Amino acid sequence: MVILIALVVVVILMVVAASKFNVHPFLSLLLAGIVMGFVGGLGKTEIITTLTDGFGKTLGSIGIIIAFGTIIGAYLEKSGGAMTLANWVIKVIGAKRSVLAMNLTGFIVCIPVYCDSGFIILSSLNKAISKKSKIPLVTLGVALAAGLFATHVFVPPTPGPLAATAALDADLGLVILLGILVAIPVALVGKFWGEYIGRRSVTSSTQAVNNEDANTQFEDLGTNPENAKNDLSEKSEIGETSETGEPQASRLTLPGARMSFAPIVVPIILIALKSIGSYPTHPLGVGTVASFIDFIGNPVVALFIGVALAFPLKPKGIKDTHSSWVGAGLQQAGVIILITGAGGAFGAILRATGIGDFIGSSFADLDLGLLLPFIIAAILKTAQGSSTVAIITTAAIIAPILESFGLDSSMGRALAVLAIGAGSMTVSHINDSYFWVVAQFTEMDTPTALKSQTVSTLIQGLAGIAIIMVLGWVLV
């Protein structure tokens, strides 16, 4: 009981440190691990060894994957490939269904691109559609934000669900397949809410949030804080001239749709094929072809192929080199990788203290199942703002107790990852950088943003856990 109380106190202190004193999650997670190690009776040498081993093992499994994912995202952002995806979706679905088109665009773009960055990239398109179609900007903004957020918390290789997949030792291909299955209706729920709130006389052109207030909120992991501040302060849009005088990607020829889709779709297909081929029935056989698919479907190899497919996106008429674009992706990946490793170290300490066995035996009679990871992640998200930190921290707490809640199977672990993702959506408000991005680029004041964006994330999170619970009853 002392260890459990200590865990609750430590988590609360982590939330306060992040939200009130801006202590970086990397430091707070490592400090929390050290404190829990001493409270749990571990020796000084054992604490250090467990901490470093947990950090290293976590990064050994997903560090390279996170790096590859951010490189792909950087190429889509800088080349205008994300805008190509948006234009393609609108063309296929039709301008009359622009709200659905922006919702689906966000869904696709955010698989490799962080939701904050994705919204900034597509905001100019949102405004153009609103002006032409007379659809309220708040409707298009909430629909786009909902699509982005759904894949941000449910579908790897986004770092949050990817880190949870590693922490819970879940099958990555299964998480991707089930994550897409859950993310589609969750995204649509946000789209419907955007349409509803747009019809309820919510102004689409209210006074923008004061830039200085918004800038102080950029603490979430989805956006590089300095870049986000520059984007907000300059209100830059696709097509403007860069600081060096060089035109942005959209002034050049945009890459084709096939070329833009390839870095996203091909790795997902390869990873999914590997998971299918690994089923006990061996549906793809056991010969050379199956062995080859098993190799290229490994997440590291599949994402490496995705990076290679992203290289042709870089236009020939710009001075930037491939090295600078890759470097931009790696710079964004660095913070994510370190926090993910710190989360793994914290989880390793918790496992070493045996707290998982105590929590499992204490809460087993309550039969919370998938609700427990959802509740923990929702509390952390609402309290400190970052979905990624909420996911990583919850995964570290939940990993040792999966067996006690009947979630130790391959399907159970995958659904637990998704339950954490659903909790990490609930809710986005003033302590979340994504809230300010949506508010600023959709020209909403704070009360309007709370009524639209915050309520949307609440409904999405509840819809997500409801769908996951149904899948749990059917599949586990």
What are the beta bridge partners of residue 247?
241
Question: Cα 36 vs. chain centroid, distance in angstroms?
Answer: 27
Do the beta carbons of residue 190 and residue 149 sit within 8 Å?
yes
Question: Mean pLDDT over all residues of the chain?
Answer: 81
Report which of 355, 368, 420 is spatially closest to residue 393, judged by C-alpha positions: 420
What one-character DSSP code corresponds to residue 462? H
The pLDDT tens digits for 244-282 are: 333 344 456 889 989 988 998 898 888 888 877 877 667
Report which of 366, 342, 351, 352 is spatially closest to residue 400, judged by C-alpha positions: 351
Do the beta carbons of residue 256 and residue 79 sit within 8 Å?
no
- pLDDT at 230 (0 to 100): 42
Report which of 112, 149, 407, 146 is spatially closest to residue 395, judged by C-alpha positions: 407
The pLDDT tens digits for 209-242 are: 333 343 333 334 333 433 443 443 333 333 333 3
Give the confidence band of 361 by pLDDT, cuts at 50, 70, 90.
low
Token pair, residue 97, equals: 């269904």
Do the beta carbons of residue 398 and residue 373 sit within 8 Å?
yes
